[in-house]
A and B are shown apart, each in its own frame.
Chain A
């Protein structure tokens, strides 16, 4: 969990300097790059960079609206998605970009833009195309998948998203005049399975200038790790169901209920909603709550090993997962993967540093192989690590009372950034104020925005029949991407 508040004026770089800066890897990993039409004929571009233990940094520049910019995507493929989004939101044409396709069709006549989406096609007589979606065969969000296949082999997959686009950033900005601290319920539904991570990142941005107490941070950390365990269990249960491993599907599914009901006993919601609020603890922890939580953790610690052993020790599971849907470390780094999917490819990216994780460190594990097996094995490992962390932080914890929400005063010409490590990776919120102190931009970034490209790369040269497990192993959010 990390936050940063900077003076906008101090972060401006000249245009050329900005480009050199972003394209050179030693300046830090780009966490978010976004634009805003300043309304004076210029577009402001902002980059949030991760300097590891040295924290976050912000650099920005101003370019003339409507003037094409050289794309950095060829040299740094991880920037390609950001450039597509800036193109869509601010109208900047990037020269030399691989393909400036719609991200979520946010412009005018967006429905027509969705229909006219330019899929990449492979030509040749033996090549056939498989189109799936936007409505899928399960209880799942919509997205269109277009496969170019040679027999059973996938040559190329392209995923068109945007069906879930609701206009989150615009709605949040509209709420700013009445006080963004009231907007938590909306933030909790940006990606509802990451309600806690989104609420925390949003609050961290709000509070960037006045960090909250260790107690408040701990109250959030507990809900965040419960959310991670719950979603990882849902992921494992879904993967087991996809390969017809009934025992693990039922077992992991049952234990997910135990975890999300523990969240519910703390804050009233199985998704942790209402448990995070600006400036204060969103729920009370008393002796009864602590005992209930300890019980849930004990149940999981007791029941999980047998299910893990049945699942990960099963030859059938190994044969389905090992070597399938490989995303290697080099490619994962290059395209800017984050979160569990990055760590499963050996890339150590984890925002569970600083704040409460400084007081109570949580080991960040990686796997080397980047296949379905690595992603599922890591889910299982992270569940155990989070449970151990939860048990540790609760030891001798006297508890706390729910506190009153505080108001947010961002100041003038500020950029406030909040980052939290959700179950899929880093959730980023950035709030920007103008010289009068009015909020002029609310930037939201779900980790899925970074990671969908990873799935498209990972299924190449795999059997099309393995797509469901590749997809489920990445377990990405549609609504979080589509905003």
Chain B
């Protein structure tokens, strides 16, 4: 585990203080819901600022150093007491791409933090090539489209053209809070219709997600063990 990393948050079963909205007021992305007097975090929106942990009077939140977090649906990303978001193996994707996966990355409003973490996957520290996973320059060579950023309006056509240039079978990975939910830019100059039509097979939360979040997520999806 990366020491000091503000990664996977866990929430306790402790009831909220009566009438308290401290975490809701602080959360920059409305990632927290209070249901039946207990807190839940939607990791699809969370930007891991840690403010909820700092302000909660009953210490309901704790950010751990665990980078292993992800989901195959948006619902998987909601953290409640005693649950953690995990990526289950996808039988079909595992059969097709389990031994070789080529990725095309498109940043559509990404701030270059997600992009740098994805680039880091190819450095000597993370070295995903050893798993048969590789970045490719041409969409023609790609099996998966890894999207970062909230999907700006100005990248709408470029994202579609990249996807259409990729041969079947193919799938989408949403990397980071912006790509998953719009993140901090939900009210921004964005157009998320593409993700409505092409539901990602894998969601990797974080702002930005740690490279190990990607490694764990993709290996779990493909059943590599």
Contact = CB atoms under 8 A, between A and B. Distances in A.
Interface string B185-210: 10111100000000000000001101
Contacts of B149: 164
Contact of A479 (B111, B124, B162): B111
Interface stretch (A147-155, A183-191, A456-464): A183-191
Interface centre among B48, B113, B137, B185 (most CB of A within 10 A): B113
Given A257-B123, A270-B210, A192 B49 contact: no
A437 interface: no
Interface residues of A, number: 53
A270 B119 CA distance: 14
B26 interface: yes
A85 interface: no
A134 B106 CA distance: 10
Contacts of A237: 123
Nearest to B7: A268
A274 B154 contact: no
Contact of B113 (A134, A170, A271): A271
A163 interface: yes
A111 B156 contact: yes
Interface in B22-40: 26, 28-29
Contacts of A273: 48-49, 207
B187 A264 contact: no
Interface residues of B, number: 57
A453 interface: no
Contacts, number: 160
Contacts of B178: 189
Interface string A236-265: 010000000000001001101100010011
A61 interface: no
A171 B185 contact: yes
B3 interface: yes
Nearest to B4: A265
A274 B49 contact: yes
Contacts of B112: 141, 191-193, 477-479
Interface in B146-179: 149-150, 152-158, 161-162, 178
A111 B189 CA distance: 11
B107 A141 contact: yes
Interface string A78-111: 0000000000000000000000000001000011
A174 B188 CA distance: 11
A142 B107 contact: yes
A166 interface: yes
Contacts of A174: 187
Contacts of A170: 188
B57 interface: no
B8 interface: no
Contacts of B106: 135, 142
Contacts of A266: 4
B123 A166 contact: no
Q: Can you list the 5 inter-chain pairs with the closest CB atoms, starting with the nearest?
A: A192-B113, A192-B111, A268-B6, A137-B137, A265-B4
23 contacts: A105-B154, A142-B107, A163-B155, A164-B108, A164-B110, A164-B149, A164-B155, A165-B152, A166-B190, A167-B188, A182-B26, A189-B111, A189-B113, A192-B111, A192-B112, A250-B123, A253-B120, A253-B123, A253-B124, A254-B123, A265-B3, A268-B63, A479-B110
